[in-house]
A = this chain, B = another copy of it.
Amino acid sequence: MLPVITISREFGSGGHSIGEKVAKKLGIPFYDSEIVTKTAIESGYAKELIEEQGEDTSSANKWFSISAASAMYFQSPQDEIFLAQRKVILECAAKGPCVIVGRCSDYILKNEEIPCMNVLIHADMIHRISRVNERYGEIKNVDTKKRIQKKDKQRLTYYRYYTDQHWGDYRNYDISLDSGNLGEDTCVDLICELAERFIPE
Closest CB of chain B to A24's CB: distance in Å? 20
A174 to B186, CA, bound (A): 12
Which chain B residues lie closer than 8 Å to A189 at the CB level?
Answer: 193
Secondary structure at the A interface, as helix, strand, loop or mixed, is mixed
Instruction: Please indicate which of the listed interface residues A120, A124, A178 has the most CB atoms of chain B within 10 Å of its own CB.
Output: A178
Interface assignment of A182: CB less than 8 Å from any CB of chain B: yes
Is the beta-carbon distance between B190 and A193 smaller than 8 angstroms?
A: yes
Which chain B residues lie closer than 8 Å to A120 at the CB level?
Answer: 170, 176
- Using known A-B contacts A186-B194, A186-B197, A190-B194, determine if residue A174 contacts B170 with beta carbons closer than 8 Å: no
Mark out the residues of chain A between 152 and 201 whose CB falls within 8 Å of any chain B CB in the assembled complex: 168, 170-171, 173-178, 181-183, 186, 189-190, 193-194, 197-199, 201
Contact surface of A with B, Cβ cutoff 8 Å? 120, 122, 124, 168, 170-171, 173-178, 181-183, 186, 189-190, 193-194, 197-199, 201
Q: A120-B170, A173-B178, A175-B178 are in contact. List 20 more A-B contacts (CB 8 A).
A: A122-B171, A168-B170, A170-B176, A171-B178, A173-B176, A174-B178, A174-B182, A175-B175, A175-B176, A175-B177, A175-B182, A175-B190, A176-B176, A182-B194, A182-B197, A183-B199, A186-B197, A189-B193, A190-B190, A193-B193
